[in-house]
Structure 1
């Protein structure tokens, strides 16, 4: 029988991509609050420096573009060097939080726009999971959480490219949960609905109200609420949960 070992977050390190975004930063904060050592990855060097100062001693920052395959490989080499040098604990968690969102109807979606959505929202998380699982398998314990989207689960007019990229990540999540279970690695996802972040900042009040009318809780979600769900799935509290997609959407009614 395979046992999915899930130590307390304080026993390991957690790599978080998109750490300089709203959900990513909230996830970094919550993970450190729960005792994890965080490897925060993002493109905004200034924000990473701020996080480093704020959480000194509990964080290591890496600045790179998640679409750069070589940079990803170098990042994981640095992670393992830090483990070997006992600068931080072995890698236990991965949160794939980096993402981009494009709202374009099919007729106006360029090949470049489609490729960008897939590169950031699917190819990058996939490569991170490949490399993270190799390290996690060494201690036969690990937990991966992918930030997908309710748009990918339910679809949305004018967002087919974004929906496709997130749906692909959902499919990989469910498949890898089965594939990596013998290695003691759980794989889950969080599917946010309409969340107050930079990705939705372009919505005016009228547009927001239209969204709220379709949400049972009649409001937008917060980055902290998404982070709480991600950390729950990452932690030992969800030790018997894998292959699950957890909606954080206030019950959206299409």
Structure 2
């Protein structure tokens, strides 16, 4: 420990960065972040895809046209999506306890993350399906293809490239959610940056966590861009 004199003359304690202690905590935090993000993207991404297709399909003039159902789903999605995730965590606490059995820890963070991701994904999916040429769908219908077959063999493949880019954008949002998991003991890089960086006035620790998250985003975005570019050339 070293004494540090700040501008107003007050003496405070600042710790030197001890990576022999922090390194295992950092690796654990990276693992917790990847666990939260991957599970959320898989569960929320799949459920959101289904909900997004249903939103698109029930729109007026589409495969499952139902104005009442579409309006209800549209309102629900519009209610949930704008809620700041930290507030959503608090609001979901009773439901999280009922489903998970606790409101503290990584699992307790993953559940509300999956719920929020589902609604966020559904809107992204709907928005990327809307531009699909209706003529392609009508051609498939005229050939006798079932509605489900049209969805999986025509609709989604036609919008696959923008959907992949949308999911890359979603990764950033989910990573942002995971950074707030520390507030309920979920761990992760966000908690690492706050507990061992910000609260201990150690910018090296804080920026280490920031750089790792930036690298994760860049890698995922680069992969998504490459896949989307390949699909668009086909």
TM-score w.r.t. the length of structure 1 is: 0.25
More strand by share: 1
Greater Rg, structure 1 or structure 2? Answer: 2
More helix by share: 2
Q: Could you say which structure has the greater relative contact order, defined with CA pairs below 8 angstroms and 6 or more residues apart?
A: 2
TM-score w.r.t. the length of structure 2 is: 0.26
